Amino acid sequence: MPEPTWAGAPVESVAVVGAGLAGCLLAAFLGRRGIAVDLYERRADPRTAGAERGRSINLAISARGLDALDRVGLAEQALAEALPMRGRTLHPVRGALGFQSYSADGTRAINSIGRARLNHALLDCAEKTPDVTLHFEHRLTAVDPATGTLTFADGGTRRADAVIGADGAWSAVRRSVQFSEGFDFRQDFLPHGYKELTIPPAPDGGFALDPGSLHIWPRGSSMMIALPNTDRSFTCTLFWPKEGPGGFAALDTADAVRRYFAAHYPDAVPLMPTLAEDFLHNPVGSLVTIRCAPWVRGRVALLGDAAHAIVPFFGQGANCAFEDCVELDRCLDETGGDLAVALPRYQDRRKANAEAIADMALDNFVEMSDRVNSPVFRWTTRARHALERVVPGYVSRYELVSFTTLPYARIEGRIRRQDRLAAGLTTAVVGGLAALASRRGARS
């Protein structure tokens, strides 16, 4: 990719749009390099205004996210405010619960943390970083990629040497370049949406469910999950079709909600005293995969969900966005801080990884909602864990995604090589046993 026309020019100011998780982390990375960063957010400061109802979506922070947070000194704090989940607990309509460990030895865990709690910590981090200035209630309406001029809803304008959009799936920064010649954009919506519910602490003040597990109620084409919180509640998320039988639109009264849950989620109903109220009042969110290119156009760049929104079924949205920040920071190291050269390099390295995790996240919805119920899937999972214990270097796809920082784009190739090795070992073992049996038969 040719260098942009402003390559080599000193970058004294960067505007980061979006004070969510990735935007705050990026601001901290840039600010500690001595770059003046203006961080713009269209909402009021969430540390004082609070989170929107039904929009928290607990995060599952794993190795990639922790690596990024450690670089700004927040990993230890994040883990202190998180709950480790070492596997999935499956809730059938009838019968006993089942448990599936995330790792072969049962010790590795993904970490449940509230989005708002982590966002507050990152906002504090960005605010304390020299040269970073926060601007709330600044709704962006346009960016000029040629000049770096930002225009806001109140008519005000600002200019920066570079503008980085970290403003989510519905990015205003991306919209400013999205309809220009040569910009490819695609959004794929699932027919499903999501809605949040709550399981409060048990009457004795403890957890109503096992807090060391991610709980799943798999129902084929839909599911409910529950992640633990440090206040001993659980944040539940329904992933249902928006329309049709078994969809959100089909339940529009409190009685209908209670009857449906009694039939399909019977063990959860006694744990959810505000079930009908939460269901009828909390919003339905959309599930979308967004792919676009290029991520860099003139003085404008995209990062996180603004560049590559993914569905949440692998718990990698925030982890992937944090890795974007780490890669851009690495590219700045390699280019002597030349942002104009670092941004295209960051795009080249991250695009294939974003595509890979987007595909894996879509596939994991089928796994979580349906395949986990299959005896074949459960046998395969146990077999893979057995291979991990006896074959050096054999690691499952889930562990490669969640417990390593191996680039997403290299994971499928690693899995194929492992499977060929495992098949070869199996053939060799079976052949050896057959030969041994033949020799014993010949001696008898």
**Closest Cα partner for 317 from 328, 327, 325, 308?**
308
Task: Determine contact, residues 311/174, Cβ cutoff 8 Å.
Answer: no
- 369 pLDDT above the threshold of 90: no
- For the stretch 411-417, contacts whose Cβ atoms lie closer than 8 Å and that sit 24 or more positions apart, written own/partner, are 411/356, 411/360, 412/356
pLDDT at 39: 98
Which tens digits make up the pLDDT trace of 179-213?
Answer: 999 999 999 999 999 999 999 999 999 999 999 99
Q: Which phi and psi angles does 202 have, rounded to 5°?
A: -65, 165
Tell me the DSSP string of 197-233.
EEEPPPTTSS-SS-TTSEEEEE-SS-EEEEEE-TTS-
CA nearest to 268, candidates 232, 216, 344: 216
Task: Give the end-to-end CA distance of the chain in Å, rounded to a whole number.
Answer: 72
β-strand 13-17 against 162-165: which pairing, if any?
parallel
Name the 3-class secondary structure at 388.
helix
Read off the pLDDT band of 360 (50, 70, 90).
Answer: very high
Question: Which class for 155: exposed (0-12), middle (13-18), buried (19 or more C-beta within 10 A)?
Answer: exposed
Q: What is the mean pLDDT of residues 170-180?
A: 96
Paired tokens of 312? 């949440």
What pLDDT band is residue 375 in, cutting at 50, 70 and 90? Answer: confident
Which residue, 362, 403, 369, is CA-closest to 61?
A: 403
Amino acid at 50: G
pLDDT score at 372: 63
Mean pLDDT of 274-288: 96
Taking the complete model, does pTM exceed 0.85, yes or no? Answer: yes
Which residues have CB under 8 Å from 276's CB, separation 6+? 254, 257, 258
